[in-house]
Amino acid sequence: MNPFRLTTRLRAVPPSTRAEPRAAESEPGSAVASIPVPWRVVHRSASGVIEVEHCGAGPLHSVRFALAGAGMLGLSLPRTVYPGERVRVVVRGASAEGVAGAGDAMLMMRWFQADGTELLWPISL
């Protein structure tokens, strides 16, 4: 059993504060177009709280977080997130501060796009 856990919570955002999606950029001569990250970090605290907002065009499925650091792994439950919604993740537990503050700690956000493609976005702590 892990001595810490990740908790997530959806937060609705008023329409006037939603960010516009960014246009995709691809390098000339590149065979694969880059995919813009449909998220932005809107809040970060030293106590292990990170809040990200979905600023893409459509719903993203099985959105979940994984925390790796100091040889430990914490996972959150998957959920669907719609444009304009925010997801707040909190690292809690007996050794959470040590893991979140470790030099090798990283929060990994994972989700599936509508076409079934799984994407990853690392967020430094």
How do the domains of the chain map onto residue ranges? 4-13+38-124
Strands 79-81 and 118-124: unpaired
- What is the tens place of the pLDDT at every residue in 22-64? 444 445 555 667 788 899 999 888 777 889 999 999 999 999 9
Percent of the chain with pLDDT over 90: 26
pTM: 0.68
What is the identity of the amino acid at 51? Answer: E
Q: Fold for 4-13+38-124, please state it.
A: Immunoglobulin-like (2.60.40)
Contact predicate 51/43, CB 8 Å: yes
119 pLDDT band (50/70/90 cuts)? very high
